Amino acid sequence: MTMATGTPLLRMGVIPVQNFGMFRQSFCYHYNSFSGSNGNCRIRNFSRARRSFSISAEAKSSEVRVRFAPSPTGNLHVGGARTALFNYLFARSNGGKFIIRIEDTDLERSTKESEEAVLRDLSWLGLNWDEGPDIGGSYGPYRQSERNALYKDYADKLVQSGHVYRCFCTNEELEKQKEIAKLNQLPPVYTGKWAYATDEEVQEELSKGTPYTYRFRVPKEGALQINDLIRGKVEWKFETLGDFVIMRSNGQPVYNFCVTVDDASMAISHVIRAEEHLPNTLRQALIYKALGFPMPKFAHVSLILAPDKSKLSKRHGATSVGQFKEMGFLPQAMVNYLALLGWGDGTPNEFFTLEELVEKFTIERVNKSGAVFDYTKLRWMNGHYMRLLPPAELVQLIGDHWKSKGFVTEPTGFIVEETLQLLKDGIDLLEDADNALLDLISYPLHANLATPECKPIVEDSLSEVAASLLAAYDNGELFAALEEGQTGWQKWVKSFGKELKRKGKALFMPLRLLLTGKLHGPDMGTSIVLLYKAGKSGAVAPGHGFVALDERLNLLRDVEWTSIQKDQEVVESAC
């Protein structure tokens, strides 16, 4: 065969040898109107004879090539992210290629913003791809909207070979067929009105300009069987399908046709996708054979379920990668957790880096049953990775976040570093860091003084402790000690305890309540020194409930202790 220089082989309906020379395939077909064996079949005709055959197909490749093909119609769902992750791990663990293809044939809902967001989220997870719409590659274009001419060429090729025919049925006719099938309790399959039309009948409709779709001829008998890498043997009977549309009347290709042409022309060796695509395999297998394409191996991953075992959706809370990112989840935690939703290495270990996942991942260990998304476990896992971050990286992460929220005046400095050192063990998410900081700088003294929990402390001469504390503040002893940091604070507390003849809880609980406004919290000495420095430096931004240490001590002057005891009596009576 000769062709003009530069003519793309794909545009002519021919698969380049360099793309598919790597494949070996074994097909077994049984056609009433076919002849041949051992995978070598010859079409005699497409007359009104009964059509039936069965397929069992396997394609082997010397190079693993997998793809993740999102539709840019919304955010990247965690289910899609897990599918992308499994594809990535399979490719990397087998020395293959990971490809991103954008399936944007839904022109009304697809947006550039959504595409960019999906790619951004995949990059954030660390799932770097080898080919895609942003970096190109030898098998592009990588957007379906840019491949329409290719789909049209292959559709015409199928018409010429007799595998596809033009259907001139109107929407009204099709709806009527569905109603009749429903009344007769039959599946709503196309009746095949135009499947055996003569050339004269077709030309007559074409001359009138009647709109038409392209329909694929489906055998009336037989079955398709695949060996799914996750689910084992799966079989469909052709009688449940009916002739299906591959091109709409407006010239737009249908999903299953696009996917088959794309996967074949991009030399995809393994298709790893969600189980909701399992029924599509039957249509795609028929198209593969009709075009002479080898079948890839399939692996259908189970859905991610909500705690109530329904499909995880927006009504269950955050479901997109972008949402989890905004909530403060780390990419290391997301990748680790998503990998464990349906996969494990057979050991009790639950923590894996991306590199370790690549080393250990096998598709055979992916579970075929649904996995429940556990937010509590994801939070716990995120806390583990938060505490593994290098100190400087954690300070930058939290500091930038607090600055953006208006909590601190600068994203670095002692207020961020020392607060994190004090509070980090209780931080699993950024919102935990927010809550811990806001709790530290707040002073809910009056609200707590009237509670039953504080009653023993109030009755243990708390007013006298407050008076002595104010005296130490007024004469400058307290702040002079705090200028020396922890050492100065410890010396002062020891001296203060001797003066009041108090020690242990009898000393520390009243001091904690008077200075922090709370009975519980992180180390008191560290907290008081930090509050003193924060008030002095202006490192904490105004607002957000921050009460400086000197302001707290001045508020103590206005406490009416007699009134506090009466309030406690009222609360006890109400209880």
Catalytic center residues: 314
Query: Tokens 């980090």 identify what position?
Result: 424
Of 400, 348, 351, nearest to 380 (Cα)? 351
Neighbouring C-beta atoms of residue 378, cutoff 10 Å: 23
Q: Which pair of tokens denotes residue 443?
A: 């002073």
Q: What gap in Å lies between CA 542 and CA 407, rounded to an integer?
A: 8
DSSP state of 221: B
Q: Which pair of tokens denotes residue 446?
A: 């009056």
Alpha helices in 298-444 (DSSP H): 321-326, 331-340, 354-360, 375-388, 391-405, 414-423, 430-441
Of 131, 102, 130, 136, nearest to 116 (Cα)? 102
Question: Is the bond leading into 141 cis (omega within 30 degrees of zero)?
Answer: yes
Burial tier of 349 (Cβ tally within 10 Å: 0-12, 13-18, 19+)? exposed
Q: Which residues pair with 68 in a beta bridge?
A: 100
Q: What gap in Å lies between CA 219 and CA 51, rounded to an integer?
A: 4
Q: What gap in Å lies between CA 568 and CA 563, rounded to an integer?
A: 9
| Cα Rg, the chain, nearest whole Å | 35
Of 56, 54, 252, 64, nearest to 151 (Cα)? 252
Q: Which pair of tokens denotes residue 497?
A: 């305890």
